[in-house]
């Protein structure tokens, strides 16, 4: 029997897959609720959170969030109308526009992050070594190592 097929169907792997699904579902539910408290949709909050880390062109935002660039354009338009984001020329290539959070946008993203307790509380119960192992395993699963 193929050892890879066995590793995908063994009880521990199946349980881990279910647990990851449960974590993702709870995270998104809390994210939607927190976004709503700031009068944002979940998608708007995710874009704003991403931009608060690094200004990006629309195409790159779409790649990171795995969605169509036209969807991102609409989301950025709505964030811009609220004064949370602005478009600026990319200093490296002035033909490209970057979506950049305003001061109010950065502040909103910070408050949104601070209101997300779901992951922070259980993670706080893990030791630093356990959190490091978990981080490294998640990165490995995502092919970032």
State pTM to two decimals: 0.74
Residues 98 and 142 grouped into a single domain? no
Q: 103-108: which pairs have CB atoms within 8 A and are 24 or more residues apart? A: 105/48, 105/51, 105/52, 105/79, 106/52, 108/38, 108/40, 108/48, 108/84
Instruction: Give residue-wise pLDDT tens across range 45-87.
Output: 999 999 999 999 999 999 998 899 889 999 999 999 999 999 9
Indicate if 55 and 102 belong to the same structural domain.
yes
Which residues span the domain enclosing 88? Answer: 41-107
Residues 80 and 50 in one domain: yes
pLDDT band at 125 (very low <50, low <70, confident <90, very high): confident
| Size of the chain, expressed as the number of residues it contains | 145
Q: Clarify whether residues 51 and 93 are in a common domain.
A: yes
Higher pLDDT, 83 or 1: 83
* Residues 49 and 90 occupy one common structural domain: yes
Domain holding 103: CATH number? 1.10.10.10
Q: Are residues 55 and 30 in the same domain?
A: no
Contact between 85 and 79 under an 8 Å Cβ cutoff? The reply is yes
Are 92 and 127 within one domain?
no
Q: Examine the pLDDT at 17 and tell me if it is beyond 70.
A: yes
Q: Is the pLDDT of residue 109 over 70?
A: yes
Whether residue 24 is found in the same domain as residue 77: no
């Amino acid at each position: 029997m193929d050892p890879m097929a066995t590793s995908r169907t063994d009880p521990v792997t199946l349980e881990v897959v279910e647990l990851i699904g449960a974590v993702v579902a709870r995270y998104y539910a809390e994210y939607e609720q927190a976004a709503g408290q700031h009068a944002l949709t979940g998608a708007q909050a995710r874009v704003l959170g991403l931009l608060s880390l690094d200004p990006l062109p629309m195409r790159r935002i779409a790649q990171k969030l795995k969605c169509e660039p036209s969807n991102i354009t609409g989301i950025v338009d709505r964030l811009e109308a609220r004064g949370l984001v602005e478009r600026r020329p990319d200093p490296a290539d002035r033909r490209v526009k970057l979506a950049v959070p305003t001061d109010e946008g950065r502040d909103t993203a910070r408050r949104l992050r601070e209101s997300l307790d779901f992951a922070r509380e259980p993670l706080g119960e893990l030791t630093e070594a356990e959190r490091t192992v978990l981080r490294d395993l998640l990165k490995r699963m995502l092919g970032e190592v």
